[in-house]
Amino acid sequence: MILGDSLSVGYGLPSHSGWVDLLRQRLQAQSSSYEVINLSISGEITLGGRKRIEQALAMHQPVIVVIALGGNDGLQGKSIQSIYDNLETIVLTCKQHNAAPLLVGIQLPPNYGISYTRKFRDIFPRLAQHHQLQFVPFMLEGFGEHREFFLADGIHPNERAQEKIMENIWPTLATLLQSMQTLVEYKESSKKQD
């Protein structure tokens, strides 16, 4: 399950060309049993994700939740503590529902001031370390500073960038999928022994 904002919706892109669609294609090529549920909303802030997560978990019962929120909070200059608290609540709620959280970090453009951008960037590794989370440090790693990978607004990645986003997230997600698979196999073999 993907809990994100416009970067995960595929804002401004041809349909089915966003990184979540590419991820779905890759997973289903491996196994038709994989299902990807994209609950991302353009303009979503961490408070919105916090309000939606409980019901989403109950309805969809995902094994893994990719949390890709925070960018809009930063662009709106929300307090660092409130962003951290909202993300932490989402993480803890996932864990209560036996869904493994995968946290995806984002960074702000430098024009938001050195102090705020640094504190904002630090939210994600701090939270990941505190809760021992699987973590992708920066969603736009490797191309975030290159204009040619963005739409005219300079904020939303274009179609060329989607494969790069997916490749940034894939190694961590693949590790998490593997560990979940191992856990399921272990539980099944334990049941057989009982």
Per residue in 28-80, pLDDT (tens digit) is 998 888 999 999 999 999 999 999 999 999 999 999 999 999 999 999 999 99
Q: Where are the beta strands (DSSP E) in 22-159?
A: 64-68, 100-104, 134-136
Residue 30 carries which side chain, given as an amino acid letter? Q
Answer whether residue 189 shows pLDDT above 90.
no
Q: Hunting for tokens 């893994």 — which residue is that?
A: 64
Gap between the Cα atoms of 125 and 128, Å rounded:
5
**What SS3 class is residue 149?**
helix
Length in residues, the chain: 194
Average pLDDT, the chain: 92
CB 46 within 8 A of CB 83: yes
What does the block give as tokens for 80?
A: 């660092």
Give me the domain span that covers residue 178.
Answer: 2-193
Answer whether residue 168 shows pLDDT above 90.
yes
> Which of the residues are catalytic?
6, 153, 156
Residue 20 has a pLDDT of 97
Looking at residue 160, which CATH number applies to its domain? 3.40.50.1110
Residues 6+ apart with CB under 8 A from 173: 23, 64, 66, 102, 134
b/e code 35-48 from CB counts within 10 Å (16+ = b): ebebbbbeebbbbb
**What SS3 class is residue 64?**
strand
Total domains present in the chain: 1
Answer whether residue 159 shows pLDDT above 70.
yes
Least confident residue range of 95-99, 106-110, 139-143: 106-110
